[in-house]
Amino acid sequence: MNFRLSIVCFFIFSVVFAQQPEERTRHFHDSIGFAKHAWQMDSIYARIASEDKTANHEIYKAVINPHDDYTYAGGLYARTLSGIQASTVILVGVAHRAKNYDLADQLIFGDFDNWEAPYGKVKISALREKILKNLDPEVYIVHDSMMQLEHSLEAIVPFLQKKDKNVEIIPVLVPYMKFSDMQQFSEELARATKEVLITEQLEFGQDVAIVISNDAIHYGSEDWGGSDLAPFGTDSIGNARAHQKDEKIIEETLKGTLSEEKIKQFNQYTVDENNYKQYEWTWCGRYSVPFGLLFANKLNMMLNHQNLNGSLLGYRSSLYNEHIPVTDLGMGTTAPAKPTHWVAYLGMSYQ
């Protein structure tokens, strides 16, 4: 009898165990520029200037945040993400290697259950599937290989997790995309998200926020794969002019009350009007920023009947700003910082 009972129990256990789906985890891609371990993240945060870690009780509905190496931009991550109080964050990222997979003209989602992060796995919110059910299948593609290879959101997750160990995320990447498609897809994503927030009785900003990944101008005449990205030259005057052009773009298109016209103007500054897959001005977020802002602003209009308002939290660059020491943490840089090769960073909040 005991033998038969053991066989039955073993059979039941085997069936139940076999039916448990294996978790799909997105693993770390970059362990040089970003923190992989909790002790690394703790050390980075301890080294960030105190003024970038000032307690912030404001609630940001959306932000534009850097995604470069922590040694260059870590302080601006902390400052910008300090106003993200939501427990679920929709991450709008760059698709750097979209060309590898011939991806364009659709939003890119993943099918992972969680992401590796310094303090343990970060869960993908169940809201992702609810939003996708409300979204036209023609608008998006699920592509885990692209999501695994992309670093622009991986950079941000550790700072969100440092702030809230239980944070959940919904990652989406924006590859090559015409502005007209951005307008349409952002409308559809905003409408799908609005329906879920209303059904789940969630508040934009308080419960769900949007973080848009971006690095500003990539500038210089060396180490850009043979390209010269320095139209003003790389002496002190030329580099200053490049910073000034960035600041002009920010002032005219990203600050103050958002509008579709201002967002389109940003797109015109950064994307070649004759070929939307080419740069006009080498901002890494030339697709993620306009799409993310259209999405966030339309969502706020649908829910609260008003445009978002943008405030500048910081504009910095790897050329001019002090770097956080990281080599003793087993970290480093993925690109040089010098007059002939540098990147600028932007922190914006939207309420």
Give the percent of the chain with pLDDT over 90.
93
The per-residue pLDDT for 304 is: 97
pLDDT at 2 over 80: no
- Average pLDDT in the 168-179 region? 98
Q: How confident is residue 30, by pLDDT bands cut at 50, 70 and 90?
A: confident
Q: Which residue has the higher pLDDT, 39 or 13?
A: 39
Half-sphere exposure of residue 39: CA atoms within 13 angstroms, side-chain side? 3
Query: Left, alpha or beta for 35 (phi > 0: left; psi -120 to 50: alpha)?
Result: beta
- CA dist 78 and 84 (Å) reads 10
pLDDT for res 31: 83
pLDDT-based confidence at 73, cuts 50/70/90? very high
Q: What is the mean pLDDT of the chain?
A: 94
| pLDDT of 9 strictly over 50 | no
Residue 124 burial (10 A CB sphere; 0-12, 13-18, 19+): buried
Contacts of residue 106, defined as CB under 8 A and 6 or more positions apart, other chains included, come to: 138, 139, 140, 141, 175, 185
Position 20 scores a pLDDT of 58
pLDDT number for residue 188: 98
Q: What is the DSSP string of 290-324?
A: HHHHHHHHHHHHHHHSS--EEEEEEEEETTTSPPP
pLDDT of 105 strictly over 80: yes
Q: pLDDT band at 230, cuts 50/70/90?
A: very high
Q: Residue type for 87, please?
A: S
pLDDT at 237: 98
Position 182 scores a pLDDT of 98
Instruction: Identify whether the C-beta of residue 80 lies closer than 8 Å to the C-beta of residue 314.
Output: yes
Mean pLDDT of 228-239: 98
- Choose between 19 and 115: higher pLDDT: 115
Query: According to the model, what pLDDT value does residue 28 have?
Result: 92
Would you state the pLDDT for residue 22?
85
pTM of the model: 0.94
Among the listed ranges 6-15, 30-39, 216-225, which one has the minimum average pLDDT value?
Answer: 6-15
Each residue of 182-206: pLDDT tens digit? 999 999 999 999 999 999 999 999 9
Question: Which residues, 6+ apart, have CB-to-CB distance to 299 below 8 Å?
Answer: 190, 193, 194, 204, 210
Mean pLDDT of 152-180: 97
φ/ψ of residue 63, rounded to 5 = -140, 160
Measure the CA–CA gap between 250 and 245, rounded to whole angstroms: 9
Distance in angstroms (rounded) separating the CA atoms of residues 160 and 183: 28
Greater confidence (151 vs 3) lies with 151
pLDDT of residue 11: 46
Counting Cβ atoms within 10 Å, is residue 312 exposed (0-12), middle (13-18) or buried (19+)? middle
Among 1-15, 180-194, 260-274, 301-315, the minimum mean pLDDT is found in: 1-15
Cα angle 284-314-285, degrees, rounded to a multiple of 5: 15
Q: What is the pLDDT of residue 185?
A: 98
CA separation (Å) from 320 to 11, 232, 236, 281? 66, 17, 11, 20
pLDDT at 145 over 50: yes
Report in angstroms the alpha-carbon separations of 298 from 86, 109, 229, 252.
19, 20, 34, 20
Query: Is pLDDT of 233 > 50?
Result: yes
- pLDDT value for 19: 53
